[in-house]
C-alpha cells in the first residue's frame, strides 16, 4: 500500500518555464512533508519542506503548496533551469513518529 504517490513518472519542461511536480498521500496523520532532488549516482538532497500548519512555503525558485483537505502537495520550480533536471522525490512523516515515507519519484527534464 503506497502511502505517498507521485503519479507522473516523468515530466519535460522548457527552460524558463514553470515545472509543477505533484504528490498525493493517503495517511491523514502525516503532518510534515519534504521534497528531495536526486542526481544519478548521488544520494537525494533536501530541497524544501512544509509543515501542515502552513499551505505554502517558498525558498528562492522553489515553492511547495499543501492542500490538506485533498491530501495533495505540489512543488513549483520557476523559472526552470537545465540544472534542475533530476529525479524529485516527495516524502512525508508524522511529527510524533520518525519514519519518513518516500514516493516513487518524478524524473524532470528541463530542455534548453
Partner 1 sequence: GAGVSQSPSNKVTEKGKDVELRCDPISGHTALYWYRQRLGQGLEFLIYFQGNSAPDKSGLPSDRFSAERTGESVSTLTIQRTQQEDSAVYLCASSLLLGTRSSYNSPLHFGNGTRLTVT
Q: What is the torsional sign of CA 5, 108, 49, 100? A: positive
Closer residue to partner 1 (CB): 2 or 12: 2
The residue from 69, 70, 83, 99 that contacts partner 1 (CB under 8 A) is: 99
44 binds partner 1 (CB under 8 A): yes
The residue from 12, 17, 97, 111 that contacts partner 1 (CB under 8 A) is: 97
Closer residue to partner 1 (CB): 6 or 85: 6
Q: Could you tell me which of 34, 36, 54 has the C-alpha nearest to residue 105?
A: 36
60 binds partner 1 (CB under 8 A): no
104 binds partner 1 (CB under 8 A): yes
89 touches 102 (CB < 8 A): yes
DSSP state of 69: T
4 touches 25 (CB < 8 A): yes
Q: Are strands 10-14 and 106-111 parallel, antiparallel or unpaired?
A: parallel
Residues that bind partner 1 (CB under 8 A): 6, 32, 34, 36, 41-46, 49, 51, 89, 91, 93, 95-105
Amino acid at each position: 500500500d503506497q502511502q505517498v504517490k507521485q503519479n507522473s513518472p516523468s515530466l519535460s519542461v522548457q527552460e524558463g518555464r514553470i515545472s509543477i511536480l505533484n504528490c498525493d498521500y493517503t495517511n491523514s496523520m502525516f503532518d510534515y512533508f519534504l521534497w528531495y532532488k536526486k542526481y544519478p549516482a548521488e544520494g537525494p538532497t533536501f530541497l524544501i519542506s512544509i509543515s501542515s500548519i502552513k499551505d505554502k512555503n517558498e525558498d528562492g525558485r522553489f515553492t511547495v503548496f499543501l492542500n490538506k483537505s485533498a491530501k495533495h502537495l505540489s512543488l513549483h520550480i520557476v523559472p526552470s533551469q537545465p540544472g534542475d533536471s533530476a529525479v524529485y522525490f516527495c516524502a512525508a512523516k508524522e511529527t510524533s513518529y520518525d519514519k519518513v515515507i518516500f514516493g516513487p519519484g518524478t524524473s524532470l527534464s528541463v530542455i534548453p
